């Protein structure tokens, strides 16, 4: 009898090696690694989500009739070696793992790797897209994907005549202060939830789970139906907004299920596309969401494999500031936007993409936080984290540590952007219009200081050169630098 090794981020009956598996003919092996869970200060909701989803999936396979060898082991390797010692007469199969570490382990154990269909563009297909291109842009890849797979297409042209409705999807929060977005479903904890929570090591951090994250296929499908039916129609306009009184807005929050396999991207896209075709969702909302899944997510996945293992250690800007105490709970912060984002992470292991990029990432970029420390914190803290997600998104997109291979400009901004896209600044003790002085917004100060520090590099970049020249003409440049140094000291000391 062959053994099929199922990893904790491949929890779907239709993925790779599992798709053709049959009870009685194939045995399933799953390994819960205690060493991995205890190796870092994972957010407790991240650990609970991963482990509970694995155990529930193992139960569903047993219910189907499979012999499931679910092993608790110090390491993944030890668990698999124990399985092979006990059941080693057949072949070990595994769907192509989603990390380099797991793929190396599969090679070491002589496992047959079955091609994965967990993503819509396999790296082999991506190579055909990239072949002969002098430069690669996500927008080009996204259009290639749309044409190849037929989403929002009218023949060979996009439905509505436009590929991208970003211009319609960058509205600030509603001016009347309303919060029209319905709350997501909440799961009721059962005995398995309690058992997993009790088994997690004391190294875990953050607030315990409160039902936000589903840990079963049925729960993930319920959340997909909720999003498409009630939230997607209003997704587009305010997808970049930040509101202190509403942590979820119109975001799907489906990334954890896509990343661990409880949902597949094709079924998510099919549901959104069908809602548009039926007239239940406007084009700008459908396109904005489809671009996130079909374009950005698949783009990041393929860049992870294209860039190679050394990419994770990139540090083109020479950033070396240690992770500030506000990020790991050793201190608070008076910065309203940063405090709100960190509070969301503490409460749920999640914050939406603009909080990640333009608040937390922006602060890390402009203050010069070490990219590997910041990537590791993100990896530990977010329920939807994975190496392939965090390395390109943080090293490349957020921190520009790759020197511009992924993003053509650094995503740095001052307080004006945050003021425009949120309601944070009105109740913040810092003044977003000031770059110097004790009450100057740290983002505004650090933004101008960042341009001054890296002027030689970015003055040649057409997407940011004008801002660099403006920085070089500042009459108070010396005062900006001095205030930035003060901001850095306060950030390091947990007093900002």
* The three-state (H, E, C) secondary structure of 180-195, written as one string: CCCCCCCCCCCHHHHH
Residue 177 pLDDT > 80:
no
CA-CA distance, 43 to 206, in Å (whole number)?
5
Both tokens of 95, joined, read 């769907």
The pLDDT tens digits for 86-110 are 998 889 999 999 999 999 999 999 9
Please give the model's pTM, rounded to 2 decimal places. 0.96
CA-CA distance, 143 to 290, in Å (whole number)?
11
The pLDDT tens digits for 292-327 are 999 999 999 999 999 999 999 999 999 999 999 999
Of all helices (H) and strands (E), which one includes residue 59?
helix 44-64
The pLDDT value recorded for residue 179 is: 84
What is the set of domains in the chain, with CATH numbers?
2-114 (3.40.50.620), 123-307 (1.25.40.80), 313-493 (1.10.579.10)
Q: Which residues contact 481 (CB under 8 A, 6 or more apart)?
A: 449, 452
The pLDDT tens digits for 467-495 are 999 999 999 999 999 999 999 999 999 99
Q: Would you tell me the crossing angle of helices 477-493 and 442-453 to the nearest 10 degrees?
A: 120
CA-CA distance, 359 to 337, in Å (whole number)?
7
Is 271 exposed, middle or buried (CB count within 10 Å of its CB: 0-12, 13-18, 19+)? middle
Tokens 């970029």 locate to 365
Q: What angle do CA 467, 473, 475 make, to 5 degrees?
A: 125
Beta strands in 141-202 (DSSP E): 153-154, 157-158
CA-CA distance, 182 to 250, in Å (whole number)?
8
Neighbours of 349 (CB within 10 A): 28
**Contact predicate 268/224, CB 8 Å:** yes
Q: Which residues contact 270 (CB under 8 A, 6 or more apart)?
A: none
Task: Tell me what the pLDDT averaged over the chain comes to.
Answer: 96
Phi and psi at 440, nearest 5°, equal: -65, 140
């Amino acid at each position: 009898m062959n053994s099929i090794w199922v990893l904790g981020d491949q929890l779907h009956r239709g993925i790779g090696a599992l798709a053709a598996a049959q009870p009685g003919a194939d045995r399933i092996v799953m390994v819960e690694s205690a060493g991995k869970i205890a190796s870092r200060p994972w957010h407790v909701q991240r650990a609970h989500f991963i482990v509970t989803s694995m155990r529930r999936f193992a139960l569903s396979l047993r219910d189907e009739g499979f012999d499931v060898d679910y092993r608790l082991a110090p390491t993944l390797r030890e668990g698999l070696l124990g399985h092979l010692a006990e059941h080693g007469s057949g072949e070990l199969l595994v769907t192509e793992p989603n990390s380099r570490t797991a793929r190396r382990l599969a090679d070491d154990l002589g496992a047959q790797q079955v091609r994965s269909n967990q993503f819509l563009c396999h790296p082999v297909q991506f190579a055909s897209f990239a072949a002969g291109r002098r430069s690669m842009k996500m927008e080009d890849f996204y259009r290639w994907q749309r044409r190849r797979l037929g989403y929002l297409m009218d023949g060979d042209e996009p439905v509505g005549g436009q590929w991208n409705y970003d211009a319609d999807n960058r509205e600030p929060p509603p001016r009347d202060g309303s919060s029209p977005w319905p709350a997501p479903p909440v799961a009721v904890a059962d005995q398995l939830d309690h058992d997993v929570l009790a088994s997690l090591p004391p190294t875990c951090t953050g607030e315990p789970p409160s039902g936000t994250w589903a840990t079963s296929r049925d729960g993930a499908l319920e959340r997909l139906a909720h999003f498409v039916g009630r939230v997607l129609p209003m997704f587009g306009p305010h997808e970049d907004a930040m509101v202190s009184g509403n942590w979820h807005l119109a975001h799907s929050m489906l990334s954890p299920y896509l990343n661990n396999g409880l949902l597949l991207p094709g079924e998510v896209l099919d549901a959104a596309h069908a809602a548009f075709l039926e007239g239940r969702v406007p084009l700008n909302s459908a396109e904005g969401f489809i671009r996130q899944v079909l374009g950005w997510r698949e783009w990041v996945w393929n860049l992870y494999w294209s860039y190679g293992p050394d990419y994770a250690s990139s540090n083109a800007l020479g950033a070396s500031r240690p992770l500030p105490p506000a990020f790991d709970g050793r201190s608070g912060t008076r910065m309203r936007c940063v405090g709100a984002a960190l509070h969301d992470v503490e409460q749920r292991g999640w914050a939406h993409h603009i909080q990640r990029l333009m608040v937390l990432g922006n602060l890390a970029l402009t203050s010069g936080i070490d990219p590997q420390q910041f990537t590791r914190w993100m990896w530990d803290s977010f329920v939807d984290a994975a190496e392939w997600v965090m390395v390109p998104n943080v090293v490349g997109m957020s921190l520009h540590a790759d020197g511009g291979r992924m993003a053509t400009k650094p995503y740095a901004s001052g307080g004006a952007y945050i003021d425009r896209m949120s309601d944070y600044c009105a109740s913040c003790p810092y003044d977003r219009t000031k770059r110097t002085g004790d009450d100057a917004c740290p983002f505004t100060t650090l933004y101008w200081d960042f341009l001054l520090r890296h002027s030689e590099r970015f003055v040649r970049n057409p997407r940011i050169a004008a801002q660099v020249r403006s920085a070089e003409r500042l009459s108070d440049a010396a005062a900006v630098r001095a205030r930035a140094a003060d901001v850095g000291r306060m950030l390091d000391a947990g007093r900002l």
